[in-house]
Amino acid sequence: MQPVKLDILSDPICPWCYIGKARLDRAMEQRPGNPFVIEWHPFQLNPEMPVGGMDRRSYMESKFGGQQGAVKAYLPVQQHAEAAGLKINFDKIARTPNTLDAHRLIHWAGLEGRQTRAVSVLFEAYFVEGRDIGDRDTLADIADSIGMDAALVRRLLGTDADQTDIRDRDRAARDMGVSGVPTFIVASQHAVPGAQPTETWLNVIDELIGAAAADGAEN
């Protein structure tokens, strides 16, 4: 069957994006003949975050109205992550970064056909290892781990290359009405918001395969 484009708007510090990807991955593993061709797009949860990020505890408490509010907000995240077979070590995360540079790395990885791998490693670096993915040396190291030229990535991160493009794409998504991530867009037509269950993706894939088969039978 013909490939079907699956555009994913995401931020590498968004836990629901991490969970949503894992659920989609499970569905694609169960349907190895799925038609999806994936492209990742930038959406910053905190576009006004200082360049150096900020202390995570201070950020969480200011966002959720104190420590108890932060704990309450992230309890379901932890539960759903565990159900998806993921580990999140919130206690290892010292800083909430500005993710502009991480999105630049994802963009450059896409030019080399390594985009989904870059997204996966960024999620693991942040949520499992507690690394600061706003730090340019960390990003260069991640680039090296997926087969990219770390020295080139480090040089590019020291310039303003593609910063405007990332900000413009982020703004365009908001102008289209995207207010949260993950947001999945199937075949450039159907928006699927949120970390959908694996069963939902299995149904979507089966419908696409069924429609393609029906169309082939008619032709």
- Tell me the pLDDT tens digit for each residue of 60-80: 989 899 889 888 988 999 999
Q: Which residue has the tokens 């694609």?
A: 28
- Which pLDDT belongs to residue 127? 98
217 vs 25, residue with greater confidence: 25
Q: What is the pLDDT of residue 39?
A: 98
Residue keyed to tokens 């799925």: 34
Compute the average pLDDT of residues 124-151: 98
Question: pLDDT value at position 80?
Answer: 97
Residue 121 in contact with residue 145, Cβ under 8 Å? yes
Confidence at 167, pLDDT banded by 50, 70, 90: very high
Average pLDDT rounded to a whole number, residues 181-200: 97
So what's the pLDDT on residue 23?
98
Per-residue pLDDT at 159: 98
56: amino acid identity, one letter = R
Q: Are 132 and 95 in contact (CB under 8 A)?
A: yes
Closest among 181, 204, 208 to 193, alpha carbons compared: 181
Domains identified in the chain and CATH numbers: 4-218 (3.40.30.10)
Residue range 42-53: mean pLDDT, rounded: 96
pLDDT at position 219: 60
Residue with tokens 């947001």: 183
